[in-house]
Amino acid sequence: MTGKRAVAQLLQHLQSVGVSHVPRVTPIARRVASAVKPAASRQAPPTAAQRQSAVARPDEAPQRARLPSAGAGRDQDLAVPAALPEVAALVQQSPSSRAEREQALCALQGIVAACARCEQLASRRTQTVFGVGNPEARIMFLGEAPGREEDEQGEPFVGPAGQLLNRIITATKLRREDLYICNILRCRPPGNRNPLPQEALNCREFLQAQIDVVRPEYIVCWGGVAAHNLLNVQTPVSRMRQQFFQYGSAQVLVTYHPSYLLRNAEAKKLVWEDMQFFMQHLGMQAN
């Protein structure tokens, strides 16, 4: 293989797992609260051929690459895990009915449960925490990583942060069935430390597959870890609020993490403003 082709393949693979030198973060609407925009239409998923070209050959050895930092604050050597053909196959089927998407997510959950890419996390977890919600939800909620309760119960956002998130959901008048909820990581980091860049990269293929199957119109990033890893930026949450970023066919909104609100009660008001901004954009009236 020529060097040029190898680089092109690597770049394609990095893009397929969401890491890119090419800025793909576009603020598309700054403070558009007064102008309720029509929801973005769902784009057709890429064709099998397009996807095939974007997925690294699974038989290739893991590649080491100098990557732009993904929320870590500095460039690091990260090892891109070989893409799993069974994950690519699920996405390539472009599940469209609710039942098909449910089935694809279920199969993906099984693949994730067997993952041991992050040795430390895999050896300590009670179980993987995949995601819950409507498989064709308009809105995806993206958190950071499971905590103790999530690790025990196998569901995202069931501990104290999750209870606060539930209260926020109730107040916004969003319904649980509008939502699909998952995290950057599917395993609990010890002591709830932040995900390492390598761990986020290891788990990215699964997050991307969940996004590709659910195809949400909106992704709400709860906290800096979710936003920085998803969008590959390091902008503070305070400067990302109340605007939309484009990620694939989804519009991304960033706000503070519920755990942050538990420690900084004064920020609850800011999250409430962000939810009102979002509700207004959706044409819904918050409480």
Q: How far is the CB of 164 from ligand URA (least distance, A)?
A: 10
CA-based end-to-end distance of the chain: 59
Q: Which is nearer to ligand URA, 159 or 216 (CB)?
A: 159
215: how many CB neighbours lie within 10 A of its CB? 24
Residue nearest to ligand URA (CB): 224
Cα gap 103→184, rounded to integer Å: 21
Q: How far is the CB of 241 from ligand URA (least distance, A)?
A: 10
Q: Which is nearer to ligand URA, 128 or 208 (CB)?
A: 128
Q: Which is nearer to ligand URA, 68 or 146 (CB)?
A: 146
Q: How far is the CB of 243 from ligand URA (least distance, A)?
A: 16
Q: How far is the CB of 256 from ligand URA (least distance, A)?
A: 4
Q: Which is nearer to ligand URA, 19 or 145 (CB)?
A: 145
Q: Which is nearer to ligand URA, 160 or 248 (CB)?
A: 160
Strands 243-247 and 27-30, how do they pair? antiparallel
Cα gap 201→195, rounded to integer Å: 10
Positions that interact with ligand URA (CB under 6 A) = 143-147, 150, 156-157, 159, 161-162, 183, 223-224, 237, 256-257, 259-260
For 245, residues 6+ apart whose C-beta sits below 8 A from its C-beta are 25, 26, 27, 28, 231, 251, 252, 253, 254
Question: Amino acid identity of 108?
Answer: L
